[in-house]
Every structure is written in C-alpha cells, then in structure tokens.
Amino acid sequence: MGHWWERNVIEPGKLPLLLALTAFILTFLITRLITRLIRAGKGPFRNVSGSGGVHIHHVVPGVVLTVAGGFGSVAGDGHGLGTLISAVLFGMGVGLVLDEFALILHLDDVYWSEAGRQSVEVVVLTAALVGLMLVGFVPLGVNDLSDEELQNRGAVLLSMGTNFAIALIALSKGKARTAIFGVIIPFIAVIGAIRLARPTSAWARRFYRRRPRARARSWLRAYRHDRRWIGPSRRLQDWIGGTPDVTPAPELEPGAGRAGPSGPAERR
C-alpha cells in the first residue's frame, strides 16, 4: 500500500488534488446534511443573518475560502504544508460555492426548488471530472499521445484541436454532459458527435429543418431517453441533496373566465 501511494500519488504530485477533491466532497455532503436539518427544524443549526436581517448564504464564506486557497496554491511551489492547506481550503470553498450554484445562476433563492437540482448536478459532474483527472486522464486526450508525438508541438496542437472540435459538435447537439466528459475522455465526445442531436439543440435547428425523418427520430429518441433516465436521476439527486419543495399549481381567481374549446377565456 505504501509503495502504491508513493508511486501513484506522491511522485506525480497529486496529493494536493486528492486533498482538494476530498475536502470538496466532504464539505458538500456536510453542508447538505446541515441544510436538511435546518429545513426539518432539527438540531442546533440555524440560518445565519447579518445586519438588517439579510440572510447570509454559505456561498459567501465559500468565495472567501476559494480565493484564499486558490491564491495560496498559486503562490506555493507545489510542495510543503502550505500548498496542502491551500488545497484543502480551495476544495472546501468550491464545495460551498457549487452547493449554491443554482442560486448564482438564477440570482434567486431556489435552493429547495426544482431549479435547485442544478447545484447537485454540477457538484456530481465536477467530482467525476476531477476524479478522472486524479486517476490519470488529461484534458483533450494529451495522455493518448506517444512520447515522440509529445515532442512534436504540431502533433499536440492538432490532437487537442481535433478533440476540442469533436466536443463542440457534441455540445451543439445538446449533449452537454457528453461534451464535458469528452474533454477528458475524447472517445465519449465522439459518441455524442455521431449520434442524433436532441430536438431543441442548435444542431437540430440548423440541420434537421429540412429533414423531417431525422427530426422525428430525434424527438422520439429524446423522449425515450428522458422517460428511461429522468426518474432514476431525480431519485439519486433527492438522495444526495434532498427532495425539492412541491410548488402548488396556480389557482384561478374567483370569477375568472374559463378557456372554452374554441380558444381563450371569454370576456364579459
């Protein structure tokens, strides 16, 4: 075990990345546990408010930790206790920030709404990508090149450009997750690039406009995919981050007209 740790973690200089990833995951899980306890009214935890009753979200200390850890890592030489502490601070900060990613995206407190699921998705995606880099994958397939090709700058740039272009094609086809993972593992991007685009993607709007059969197939495939995976995906998100609040359906005001079979509501 000691030999494996020395050869695969210490020698390649991956210990700071490992500590940052561990701190990131633990911070996110602990934060979600605390927020779920606050939501249920259990335990000693309470929301923090500043002067004037302003609710202070945990993204605020997250930004502070991210800045401190990031600058500390850049200022360090990649070794020593200071670099390791900076890596932990950075991981903790990113965990706090990405836990409220949906709030930053929507500029609204959507933490326990359906839109808040985006925070969990981004955290899982980030942890998976960093984990792939930790086990040896390098973005844009550079690790697939031989030693001779790595000495040729043109070959490196060509390989990176080709892999990046394939990932962009997958992204334009509405396959964001495939494109992101394809940056780390190019073969995944190739799969996304050769498959049918999602019907609402930029690729489908541009190239399927005059191809009714391709457009119909893309709608059918997207429907089957969403029907198969949206249930398990949401159950996993709820298990990790908690079940969002149920938004009640809007009710009609008293005396409001009802839409008839021929069109909009009647006016009196």
Q: What is the pLDDT of residues 131-189, one digit of tens each?
A: 988 887 777 665 555 556 555 667 667 777 888 898 899 989 998 889 888 888 888 88
**Percent of the chain whose pLDDT exceeds 90:** 31
pLDDT at 124: 93
Whole-number mean pLDDT of the chain?
83
Kindly indicate the confidence band of residue 260, based on its pLDDT and cuts at 50, 70 and 90. Answer: very low
pLDDT of residue 26: 97
| Spatial distance between the Cα atoms of 84 and 44, rounded to a whole number of angstroms | 31
SS (H, E, C) the chain: CHHHHHHHHHCCCCHHHHHHHHHHHHHHHHHHHHHHHHHHCCCCCCCCECHHHCECCCHHHHHHHHHHHHHHHHHCCCCCHHHHHHHHHHHHHHHHHHHCHHHHHHCCCCCCCHHHHHHHHHHHHHHHHHHHHHCCCCHHHHHHCCHHHHHCHHHHHHHHHHHHHHHHHHHHCCCHHHHHHHHHCHHHHHHHHHCCCCCCCHHHHHHCCCCHHHHHHHHHHHHHHHHHHHHHHHHHHHHHHCCCCCCCCCCCCCCCCCECCCCCECCC
The confidence band for 86, taking pLDDT boundaries of 50, 70 and 90, is very high
Are the C-beta atoms of residues 101 and 122 closer than 8 Å to each other?
Answer: yes
Question: In the chain, where do the E strands start and end?
Answer: none
6-23: average pLDDT: 84
Q: Mean pLDDT throughout 24-53?
A: 88
Return the pLDDT at 263.
44
215 compared with 7, residue with greater pLDDT: 215
Residue 210 is predicted with a pLDDT of 82
Average pLDDT over residues 73-99: 90
Confidence of residue 262 (pLDDT cuts 50, 70, 90): very low
Q: Is the pLDDT of residue 261 over 70?
A: no
**What pLDDT was estimated at residue 121?**
93
- Out of 92-101, 161-170, 245-254, pick the least confident: 245-254
Asked whether the predicted pLDDT for residue 104 surpasses 90, the reply is: yes
Tell me what the mean pLDDT of segment 68-81 comes to.
Answer: 84
Task: Decide which of 96 and 1 is more confident.
Answer: 96
Tell me: pLDDT of 233 over 80.
yes
- The pLDDT of 40-57, averaged and rounded, is 82
Q: pLDDT digit string (tens) for 115-146? A: 989 999 999 999 999 998 888 777 766 555 55
